[in-house]
Amino acid sequence: MQLFFKGLIRGLVPFVILLIISIWNMLHGSAATAKTFLFYSLVIFFLGLASVIYQIKQWSFIKQIIVHYMAMLITVFPVLLLYGSY
């Protein structure tokens, strides 16, 4: 549970910062820039959350790599597809 909260903090801090930048840009009329920052914030949130996978000592390095890759396929890849970065 401690790893989950550590990952949540790692993901939420940059997520909130970029979300504020996105809202700021939206209020100032730059919708394209706001959309970019919104998608960046989602990607950074998932990366921060999944970064704690490498701190699980009981797992082998290969297992950590495979689980991290699967987590990225489930979380970051769809966000990138929605944004149009393919």
> Residue 86: its pLDDT value, please?
67
**Residue 78's Cα: distance from chain center in Å?**
12
Tell me what the mean pLDDT of segment 41-54 comes to.
92
Q: In this model, does residue 7 exceed pLDDT 80?
A: yes
Distances (CA, A) of 47 to 42, 61, 68, 80: 9, 18, 9, 13
> Residue 3: its pLDDT value, please?
85
> Residue 18: its pLDDT value, please?
93
Q: In this model, does residue 84 exceed pLDDT 90?
A: no
Mean pLDDT of the chain: 91
The model's pTM: 0.82
What is the four-CA torsion angle of 9, 62, 86, 50, rounded to 10 degrees? -10
